Structure 1
Amino acid sequence: MNNRWTKLGTRSAALVLGAALLIPGLTAHAATTYTAKDSDTFWKLSRQMNIPLQQLMDANPGIDPLNIYAGLKLTLPGSANASVLKSTASKSVAQSIATASGQALAFSKVLDIKATAYSAAAEENGKWGAVDYFGDPLKLGTIAVDPNVIPFGTKVYITGYDFAGLPSGGMTATASDAGGAIKGNRIDIFVPGSRQFVSGFGYQNVKVYVLD
């Protein structure tokens, strides 16, 4: 529904299972190994480990920030963040939501959001074509966000919409796109199908659960 702004992101190679992330200024002596969880992102790790996000991403130019998998071995600061690693590992789940399939997902907060939808049509995607901010193909589960409200890479669970082109009851999604009209508590949900079909989504009020 909304024409998205020019994407500034670069296309990145997928993160290979078992690869290490190198943090600037660290020696092998100071580094420790951290096993990633499925919900981890560069943004979350930068906050938890007190590492500047851009510094973390610049140190890994060939890494796709949206492709961090559970079980992946990451290289992180050692002694300076030992207490953070310990508290992160032992943190209990305070809140969870049951998905339409009955799966329990832990979340840190819930947002009341106004949602629109967009298609892969050229009129909505400009010269870059049907790709997200990072250059990856648009797919079900891609949403455009205001990164000041929902940072890139954040995984969410969306409920409250009513549209035949989306999973019934709710859906998981990743904040991996942006749009000129997507400011504040707004999201634009990518929906496969023609522009005419997707425009039927209109404007809907939804709840967005920010997943841990």
Structure 2
Amino acid sequence: MTIRWKTIGARSAALALGAAIALPGLTAHAASTYTAKDSDTFWKLSQQLNLPLQQLMDANPAIDPLNIYAGLKLVIPAAPAANKTMTAASKSAVQKTQAVTTVSGQSLAFSRALDVKATAYSAAAEENGKWGAVDYFGNPLKLGTIAVDPDVIPFGTKVYITGYDFSGLPAGGMTATASDAGGAIKGNRIDIFVPGSRSFVSGFGFQNVKVYVLE
């Protein structure tokens, strides 16, 4: 168990109504604006606009992900034309793609595998601070949510985790999404959300696991 006070840092700055934030790389057309709704989050917008979540985050370092509100003007800038030519490096990367087989027999393509130290956290207020039982983007915590160091595993990344031993998680392995962060989660560390009481989840302790970064 890790006490997971979410560290927003500069993102905690309040936004004035009508302030603009940059959402990069959506279209090759001229820049446009989008008026946020109360239900919008960076995660939902990345899915709706088909943009990498990390790209949105990197372009908006002063934005609090929990403070996207109705009336906020979001700027959708023009994007450069995509280079459709596959370089030798990209061909090599494709050729090196490997696959991991899940306990159900499904084959999942992955680009890299990491040996990391894992802890687990619950929805208890003592572990989540003032933000409550939500991830970094304001979405409710659920099985499959993990906290990461985004410099190691970018936000929005899908992963497959093996090597743990705990009754509160699927036996043999599980898929998860990097959508949370924590002050102690730096480098090759992950924190896995587990439904249940704080005392139950604390039984996970510290475990060495394998994380496969999925394609």
Alignment-mate amino acid for residue 52 of structure 2: F
Who is 2:127 aligned against? Answer: 124
Who is 1:3 aligned against? Answer: 3
1:141 partnered with 2:144: yes
Runs of 4+ in 1 over 4 A off after TM superposition: none
Contact 1:7 1:128 (C-alpha < 8 Å) held by counterparts: no
1:187 partnered with 2:190: yes
Task: Give the 3 Å change call, closer, same or farther, for CA 141–24 of structure 1 in structure 2.
Answer: closer
TM-score (norm: length of structure 2): 0.67
Aligned-pair CA distance for 1:151:
1.0
Alignment-mate amino acid for residue 163 of structure 1: F
Task: Give the 3 Å change call, closer, same or farther, for CA 156–52 of structure 1 in structure 2.
Answer: closer
TM-score (norm: length of structure 1): 0.68
Aligned-pair CA distance for 1:5:
2.6
Alignment-mate amino acid for residue 59 of structure 2: Q
Task: Give the 3 Å change call, closer, same or farther, for CA 99–52 of structure 1 in structure 2.
Answer: same
**Structure 2: 5+ residue runs without aligned partners?**
13-22, 31-49, 69-77
Aligned partner of residue 153 in structure 1, secondary structure: coil
Contact 2:53 2:156 (C-alpha < 8 Å) held by counterparts: yes
Q: Structure 2 matches for 1:74-89, cutoff 5 A?
A: 77-78=80-81, 80-84=82-86
Aligned-pair CA distance for 1:181:
0.9
**Structure 1: 5+ residue runs without aligned partners?**
11-20, 29-39, 63-74
Q: Structure 2 matches for 1:43-192, cutoff 5 A?
A: 53-54=58-59, 77-78=80-81, 80-84=82-86, 91=94, 94-192=97-195
Give me the whole-angstrom Cα distance separating, in 1, the residues matched to 2:51 and 2:174: 19
Contact 2:125 2:132 (C-alpha < 8 Å) held by counterparts: yes
Length, aligned pairs only? 169
Give me the whole-angstrom Cα distance separating, in 2, the residues matched to 1:204 and 1:95: 25
Identity of aligned residues (%): 68
Aligned-pair CA distance for 1:96:
0.1
Alignment-mate amino acid for residue 101 of structure 1: S
Give me the whole-angstrom Cα distance separating, in 1, the residues matched to 2:193 and 2:138: 15
Alignment-mate amino acid for residue 147 of structure 1: P
Contact 1:41 1:153 (C-alpha < 8 Å) held by counterparts: no
